[in-house]
Structure 1
Amino acid sequence: MEIKETLNVPVKYLWHNILKSVLYDARKETGKPLTETQLTGLKYTKTFSNHQQATLQILTVEPEQEYAYTTTTARNAYTVRYVLTPAGDGKTTVVYTEKIDSKGGLQKANDFITSILLGWQRKRGFKKMLKQMEETYQQA
Protein backbone atom coordinates (compact mmCIF):
# COMPACT_ATOMS: atom_id res chain seq x y z
CA MET A 1 0.00 0.00 0.00
CA GLU A 2 1.21 3.49 -0.80
CA ILE A 3 -0.26 6.83 0.18
CA LYS A 4 1.07 10.12 -1.17
CA GLU A 5 -0.23 13.38 0.26
CA THR A 6 0.95 16.97 0.17
CA LEU A 7 0.26 18.81 3.39
CA ASN A 8 0.33 22.51 4.15
CA VAL A 9 2.94 22.06 6.89
CA PRO A 10 6.73 22.41 6.86
CA VAL A 11 8.89 19.27 6.79
CA LYS A 12 10.32 20.11 10.21
CA TYR A 13 6.86 20.12 11.81
CA LEU A 14 5.80 16.82 10.28
CA TRP A 15 9.13 15.18 11.16
CA HIS A 16 8.83 16.36 14.76
CA ASN A 17 5.36 14.81 15.05
CA ILE A 18 6.48 11.47 13.63
CA LEU A 19 9.58 11.33 15.83
CA LYS A 20 7.69 12.35 18.95
CA SER A 21 5.51 9.27 18.51
CA VAL A 22 8.49 7.00 17.74
CA LEU A 23 10.45 8.19 20.78
CA TYR A 24 7.42 7.77 23.04
CA ASP A 25 6.81 4.21 21.83
CA ALA A 26 10.49 3.25 22.12
CA ARG A 27 10.71 4.64 25.65
CA LYS A 28 7.49 2.92 26.69
CA GLU A 29 8.70 -0.47 25.45
CA THR A 30 12.39 -0.26 26.43
CA GLY A 31 12.13 1.83 29.58
CA LYS A 32 15.02 3.96 28.30
CA PRO A 33 14.87 7.62 27.32
CA LEU A 34 16.27 7.73 23.79
CA THR A 35 17.25 10.45 21.36
CA GLU A 36 16.75 10.62 17.62
CA THR A 37 20.40 9.73 17.00
CA GLN A 38 20.02 6.48 18.97
CA LEU A 39 17.08 5.15 16.97
CA THR A 40 18.65 3.68 13.80
CA GLY A 41 19.12 -0.05 14.34
CA LEU A 42 17.19 -0.06 17.61
CA LYS A 43 15.45 -3.39 18.11
CA TYR A 44 12.96 -4.18 20.86
CA THR A 45 9.95 -6.30 21.68
CA LYS A 46 6.62 -4.53 21.47
CA THR A 47 3.53 -5.78 23.26
CA PHE A 48 0.20 -4.90 21.67
CA SER A 49 -3.14 -4.39 23.42
CA ASN A 50 -4.19 -7.97 22.63
CA HIS A 51 -1.04 -9.21 24.47
CA GLN A 52 0.56 -10.29 21.19
CA GLN A 53 4.25 -9.55 20.88
CA ALA A 54 6.40 -8.58 17.93
CA THR A 55 9.97 -7.52 17.35
CA LEU A 56 10.26 -3.97 16.10
CA GLN A 57 13.45 -2.81 14.42
CA ILE A 58 14.04 0.75 13.28
CA LEU A 59 15.73 0.60 9.90
CA THR A 60 16.21 4.22 8.86
CA VAL A 61 16.14 7.59 10.57
CA GLU A 62 17.24 10.36 8.22
CA PRO A 63 16.21 13.62 9.88
CA GLU A 64 13.43 15.43 8.05
CA GLN A 65 13.68 12.94 5.15
CA GLU A 66 12.91 9.32 5.94
CA TYR A 67 11.83 6.99 8.72
CA ALA A 68 11.39 3.24 8.31
CA TYR A 69 10.84 0.26 10.57
CA THR A 70 9.95 -3.43 10.43
CA THR A 71 7.64 -5.26 12.81
CA THR A 72 8.16 -9.02 12.80
CA THR A 73 5.81 -11.64 14.22
CA ALA A 74 5.70 -15.41 13.88
CA ARG A 75 3.37 -14.94 10.89
CA ASN A 76 4.81 -12.01 8.93
CA ALA A 77 7.14 -9.04 8.66
CA TYR A 78 5.49 -5.67 8.17
CA THR A 79 7.71 -2.84 6.84
CA VAL A 80 6.62 0.80 6.98
CA ARG A 81 8.41 3.75 5.41
CA TYR A 82 7.74 7.50 5.57
CA VAL A 83 9.52 9.68 3.02
CA LEU A 84 9.19 13.45 3.45
CA THR A 85 9.98 15.94 0.71
CA PRO A 86 9.66 19.74 0.84
CA ALA A 87 7.03 20.87 -1.67
CA GLY A 88 7.68 24.62 -1.55
CA ASP A 89 5.84 27.39 0.32
CA GLY A 90 6.01 25.53 3.64
CA LYS A 91 4.38 22.40 2.24
CA THR A 92 5.52 18.80 2.56
CA THR A 93 4.84 15.75 0.43
CA VAL A 94 4.73 12.59 2.48
CA VAL A 95 4.88 9.16 0.88
CA TYR A 96 3.83 6.39 3.24
CA THR A 97 4.41 2.81 2.15
CA GLU A 98 3.78 -0.47 3.88
CA LYS A 99 4.70 -3.93 2.76
CA ILE A 100 3.82 -7.29 4.27
CA ASP A 101 6.05 -10.34 3.83
CA SER A 102 4.01 -13.32 4.98
CA LYS A 103 5.38 -16.64 6.15
CA GLY A 104 3.60 -19.54 4.46
CA GLY A 105 0.98 -19.81 1.73
CA LEU A 106 -2.05 -19.74 4.01
CA GLN A 107 -0.78 -16.62 5.79
CA LYS A 108 -0.08 -14.95 2.42
CA ALA A 109 -3.65 -15.63 1.32
CA ASN A 110 -5.03 -14.36 4.61
CA ASP A 111 -2.95 -11.16 4.46
CA PHE A 112 -3.96 -10.57 0.84
CA ILE A 113 -7.67 -10.90 1.60
CA THR A 114 -7.34 -8.72 4.70
CA SER A 115 -5.51 -6.01 2.73
CA ILE A 116 -8.31 -5.95 0.16
CA LEU A 117 -11.08 -5.84 2.75
CA LEU A 118 -9.47 -3.38 5.17
CA GLY A 119 -7.02 -1.48 2.96
CA TRP A 120 -9.41 1.36 2.14
CA GLN A 121 -10.21 1.79 5.82
CA ARG A 122 -6.52 1.96 6.76
CA LYS A 123 -5.84 4.49 4.00
CA ARG A 124 -8.75 6.60 5.15
CA GLY A 125 -7.54 6.53 8.76
CA PHE A 126 -3.99 7.45 7.80
CA LYS A 127 -5.13 10.35 5.62
CA LYS A 128 -7.37 11.55 8.44
CA MET A 129 -4.41 11.50 10.85
CA LEU A 130 -2.33 13.57 8.39
CA LYS A 131 -5.14 16.09 7.96
CA GLN A 132 -5.46 16.39 11.74
CA MET A 133 -1.75 17.21 11.97
CA GLU A 134 -2.20 19.81 9.25
CA GLU A 135 -5.19 21.35 11.04
CA THR A 136 -3.33 21.47 14.34
CA TYR A 137 -0.44 23.27 12.62
CA GLN A 138 -2.80 25.76 10.97
CA GLN A 139 -4.48 26.56 14.30
CA ALA A 140 -1.17 27.24 16.07
Structure 2
Amino acid sequence: MELTMKINVPAAFFYDTIMRSVLADVKQQTNQELAVKELQGFEYEKTFSKSASATVKIKTLVENECYEYQTISSKNNFTVLYRIKPLDDERVELHYSESMTSRGGYMQKLNDAFVGVIWSFLKKKKFKEMLKQIESTYRYQQQSQA
Protein backbone atom coordinates (compact mmCIF):
# COMPACT_ATOMS: atom_id res chain seq x y z
CA MET A 1 0.00 0.00 0.00
CA GLU A 2 1.24 3.47 -0.85
CA LEU A 3 -0.32 6.75 0.09
CA THR A 4 0.76 10.37 -0.31
CA MET A 5 -1.20 13.06 1.51
CA LYS A 6 -0.85 16.65 2.58
CA ILE A 7 -1.39 17.09 6.32
CA ASN A 8 -1.97 20.40 8.07
CA VAL A 9 0.58 20.01 10.85
CA PRO A 10 4.27 20.97 11.18
CA ALA A 11 6.83 18.24 10.46
CA ALA A 12 8.05 18.25 14.06
CA PHE A 13 4.53 17.75 15.43
CA PHE A 14 3.83 14.84 13.09
CA TYR A 15 7.18 13.19 13.79
CA ASP A 16 6.80 13.64 17.57
CA THR A 17 3.31 12.12 17.44
CA ILE A 18 4.62 9.03 15.65
CA MET A 19 7.59 8.74 18.02
CA ARG A 20 5.35 8.96 21.10
CA SER A 21 3.37 6.04 19.68
CA VAL A 22 6.53 4.02 19.00
CA LEU A 23 7.91 4.70 22.49
CA ALA A 24 4.58 3.68 24.05
CA ASP A 25 4.62 0.41 22.07
CA VAL A 26 8.22 -0.30 23.14
CA LYS A 27 7.28 0.39 26.77
CA GLN A 28 4.20 -1.84 26.57
CA GLN A 29 6.04 -4.73 24.91
CA THR A 30 9.40 -4.58 26.72
CA ASN A 31 8.79 -2.48 29.83
CA GLN A 32 11.78 -0.35 28.73
CA GLU A 33 11.61 3.43 28.67
CA LEU A 34 13.76 4.63 25.80
CA ALA A 35 14.50 8.05 24.35
CA VAL A 36 13.86 8.65 20.65
CA LYS A 37 17.62 8.78 19.97
CA GLU A 38 17.90 5.17 21.28
CA LEU A 39 15.38 3.78 18.77
CA GLN A 40 17.63 3.59 15.69
CA GLY A 41 18.40 -0.13 15.18
CA PHE A 42 16.38 -1.14 18.25
CA GLU A 43 14.69 -4.55 18.06
CA TYR A 44 12.00 -6.00 20.27
CA GLU A 45 9.53 -8.85 20.36
CA LYS A 46 5.91 -7.79 19.88
CA THR A 47 3.06 -10.05 20.94
CA PHE A 48 -0.15 -9.75 18.92
CA SER A 49 -2.02 -12.67 20.51
CA LYS A 50 -1.28 -15.85 22.45
CA SER A 51 -0.15 -17.55 19.25
CA ALA A 52 1.21 -14.64 17.21
CA SER A 53 4.33 -12.60 17.76
CA ALA A 54 7.03 -10.98 15.65
CA THR A 55 10.28 -9.10 15.92
CA VAL A 56 10.04 -5.37 15.28
CA LYS A 57 13.21 -3.68 14.07
CA ILE A 58 13.49 0.07 13.71
CA LYS A 59 15.53 0.51 10.56
CA THR A 60 15.62 4.23 9.77
CA LEU A 61 15.05 7.25 11.96
CA VAL A 62 15.71 10.79 10.71
CA GLU A 63 14.21 13.50 12.90
CA ASN A 64 11.20 15.20 11.26
CA GLU A 65 11.90 13.41 7.96
CA CYS A 66 11.75 9.63 8.04
CA TYR A 67 10.72 6.63 10.09
CA GLU A 68 11.00 3.05 8.86
CA TYR A 69 10.46 -0.21 10.66
CA GLN A 70 10.24 -3.87 9.80
CA THR A 71 8.09 -6.54 11.43
CA ILE A 72 9.54 -10.02 10.99
CA SER A 73 7.39 -13.07 11.69
CA SER A 74 7.71 -16.73 10.82
CA LYS A 75 5.45 -16.15 7.78
CA ASN A 76 6.53 -12.80 6.36
CA ASN A 77 8.49 -9.57 6.56
CA PHE A 78 6.42 -6.40 6.68
CA THR A 79 8.15 -3.04 6.10
CA VAL A 80 6.57 0.37 6.77
CA LEU A 81 8.08 3.70 5.73
CA TYR A 82 6.96 7.23 6.64
CA ARG A 83 8.62 10.04 4.63
CA ILE A 84 7.79 13.52 5.88
CA LYS A 85 8.37 16.46 3.53
CA PRO A 86 7.73 19.93 4.99
CA LEU A 87 5.74 22.13 2.62
CA ASP A 88 5.86 25.16 4.94
CA ASP A 89 5.81 25.80 8.70
CA GLU A 90 2.30 24.36 9.11
CA ARG A 91 1.98 21.62 6.47
CA VAL A 92 3.74 18.47 5.39
CA GLU A 93 3.43 15.99 2.59
CA LEU A 94 3.48 12.47 3.97
CA HIS A 95 4.47 9.55 1.80
CA TYR A 96 3.52 6.29 3.53
CA SER A 97 4.33 2.87 2.13
CA GLU A 98 3.94 -0.72 3.26
CA SER A 99 5.45 -3.77 1.63
CA MET A 100 5.32 -7.43 2.53
CA THR A 101 7.46 -10.37 1.55
CA SER A 102 6.05 -13.81 2.30
CA ARG A 103 8.36 -16.59 3.45
CA GLY A 104 5.85 -19.37 3.15
CA GLY A 105 5.14 -21.52 0.16
CA TYR A 106 2.84 -20.79 -2.75
CA MET A 107 -0.36 -21.01 -0.69
CA GLN A 108 0.99 -18.59 1.93
CA LYS A 109 1.95 -16.10 -0.78
CA LEU A 110 -1.45 -16.47 -2.45
CA ASN A 111 -3.24 -15.99 0.89
CA ASP A 112 -1.14 -12.92 1.71
CA ALA A 113 -1.88 -11.38 -1.70
CA PHE A 114 -5.61 -12.06 -1.35
CA VAL A 115 -5.82 -10.66 2.16
CA GLY A 116 -3.73 -7.65 1.07
CA VAL A 117 -6.20 -6.76 -1.68
CA ILE A 118 -9.22 -7.20 0.58
CA TRP A 119 -7.82 -5.17 3.48
CA SER A 120 -6.07 -2.48 1.45
CA PHE A 121 -9.16 -0.27 1.14
CA LEU A 122 -10.01 -0.58 4.84
CA LYS A 123 -6.42 0.07 5.90
CA LYS A 124 -6.23 3.21 3.75
CA LYS A 125 -9.49 4.47 5.19
CA LYS A 126 -8.36 3.81 8.77
CA PHE A 127 -4.96 5.39 8.10
CA LYS A 128 -6.56 8.54 6.66
CA GLU A 129 -8.78 8.77 9.75
CA MET A 130 -5.69 8.55 11.96
CA LEU A 131 -4.07 11.41 10.00
CA LYS A 132 -7.20 13.54 10.40
CA GLN A 133 -7.11 12.85 14.14
CA ILE A 134 -3.50 14.06 14.27
CA GLU A 135 -4.55 17.25 12.48
CA SER A 136 -7.45 17.70 14.88
CA THR A 137 -5.18 17.25 17.90
CA TYR A 138 -2.78 19.84 16.52
CA ARG A 139 -5.59 22.37 15.87
CA TYR A 140 -6.96 21.81 19.38
CA GLN A 141 -3.53 22.38 20.93
CA GLN A 142 -3.08 25.58 18.90
CA GLN A 143 -6.49 26.90 19.98
CA SER A 144 -5.76 26.05 23.62
CA GLN A 145 -2.52 28.04 23.51
CA ALA A 146 -4.14 31.10 21.90
**Fold match (TM-score > 0.5):** yes
Q: TM-score, normalised by structure 1?
A: 0.96
The equivalent of 2:124 in structure 1 is 123
Q: What residue is the counterpart of 2:35 in the other structure?
A: 35
Structure 2 distance, partners of 1:124, 1:54, is 25
AA matched with 2:23: L
**Distance of 2:7 and 2:101 partners within structure 1:** 30
CA RMSD between the two structures:
1.1
Unpaired runs of at least 5, structure 2? 142-146
Equivalents in 2 of 1:91, 1:36: separation in Å? 23
Give the drift of 1:136. 1.4
Q: Which runs of 4+ in 1 moved over 3 A?
A: none
Structure 1 portions without partners, runs of 5+: none
- Residue 106 of structure 2 aligns with an amino acid whose one-letter code is G
Residue 63 of structure 1 is matched in structure 2 by: 63
Matches within 5 A, 1:1-140: 1-49=1-49, 51-103=51-103, 104-140=105-141
Give the number of equivalent residue pairs: 140
In 2, Cα distance between equivalents of 1:30 and 1:116: 32
Aligned to 2:144: none
